[in-house]
Amino acid sequence: MAENGYHINGTPLSNSAVADGTSVLQPLPQAQTISADEIALYDRQIRLWGVKAQEKLRSANILLIGMKALANEIAKNLVLAGIGSLTVLDDQLVTEEDLGSQFFVSELHVGMNRAAAAISQVRTLNPRVALHADTENILLKPPEFYTVFDMVIATDLDLAPLSVINAACRFVNKPFYAAGSHGFYGFIFADLICHNYVIEREKSNLSTQLKAETVTRTIVASNTKTENGKQIEMVTKRELYSPINLANTSPLQPEQISSRRRKLQVLPLLSCLRALWEFQNSTGRSAPTNSQEDSKLFITLATEKHQELQLPNETLRSEFLRSFLDNVGSEIAPVTAFLGGQLAQDVINVLGQREQPIQNFLLFDSEDSKGSVYALHPIFPPLDGPVL
């Protein structure tokens, strides 16, 4: 035990180099203590979320799928935060286009595998984090592949592979995030299956009732502690989630379409994202071309999705449709930085079981500087009765 008394629970992983420059995950001894250097390095975040949360973060093993600009930002934030192990998986090669948006690769890496090329640069951010590069196709991995990970994050993939990965994660009960950027626009999706977290607040005179707060969130426990002479209430809440294939076809919550004013506030990006995924399913292509035929098909699909969501026609403007089409597949650093920061922070909160996580779609429109979260689920049962 170190003199500060901080102890790491779980089994962190170390990395050992192999001939191709990647690394192999190996278990470290069970007993690990946070060194004085680590206390100094992580002092600010330990003050923010506490030693226990840092311990959970320090032993976390995370899989990051895809290594483009958005994944670069996610990897940077998680590694700097001090996670235990990160596996980067990408079967694609570095291209000249990657050099304009990704900061872990250079001209020397063109033609190399993305994951293998980036891993050495990621390691310089925090040598304490165990790193591993996987160059295989994620769709060739069986569900058992995901069992060793505490969290799975998939970036910049079409809906079909995202659905496959999400299903595999659910099969082995692993939290899943998906994220993608399209120029000025982007999204984050979370399927944490069933997630408990704790909110700390000063205890009030009213007792906390164990009951449903929303259709997905329930208060399941309430405890108190004394801190600096004050009574602090620790409220445990539980969030239930839906997989991405169901969320993609689910309606908006009733309160979001209960009035015309609220309908006008819903980002048309939701309709366009659903239209893009429908385009992928119907054509087998990742994005529309500049052809008149593709543009017409996409606009038709976007209009249909907008109507399915019961949103007013005037919010799906032709200017927005054109802008979205022009941005599909492109990467803009400030947008990927924002999305990567938001996703990494949510992962840290989830691992530490602190704060309200994303539920379940976050959409970001940088042109209008708007970001909104939509809870998209197949059904909306009534909120009544106590927690049993």
The DSSP line for 139-176 is GGS-GGGGGG-SEEEEES--HHHHHHHHHHHHHTT--E
Q: What number is the average pLDDT over the span 343-349? A: 96
Q: Which residues of 243-255 are buried (b: 16+ CB within 10 A; e: fewer)?
A: bbbbbbebebbee
CA gap 149, 374 in Å, rounded:
27
Comparing CA positions, the residue from 117, 120, 122, 92 lying closest to residue 106 is: 117
The model's pLDDT over 204-252, given as tens digits with 9 standing for 90+, comes to 888 899 999 999 999 999 999 988 888 999 999 999 999 999 999 999 9
Query: What global pTM score does this model have?
Result: 0.87
Cβ atoms < 10 Å from Cβ of 375: 21
CA gap 357, 196 in Å, rounded:
10
Q: What number is the average pLDDT over the span 71-100? A: 94
The model's pLDDT over 318-338, given as tens digits with 9 standing for 90+, comes to 999 999 999 999 999 999 999
Q: What number is the average pLDDT over the span 131-140? A: 97
For the cut 90, the answer to whether the pLDDT of residue 31 exceeds it is: no
Cβ atoms < 10 Å from Cβ of 334: 9
CA gap 386, 388 in Å, rounded:
6
CA gap 195, 236 in Å, rounded:
10
The DSSP line for 49-84 is HHHHHHHHHHT-EEEEE--SHHHHHHHHHHHHHT-S
Q: Which residues of 185-214 are buried (b: 16+ CB within 10 A; e: fewer)?
A: bbbbbbbbeebebeeeeebeeeebeeebee
Q: What integer pLDDT is reported at residue 387 of this predicted model?
A: 47
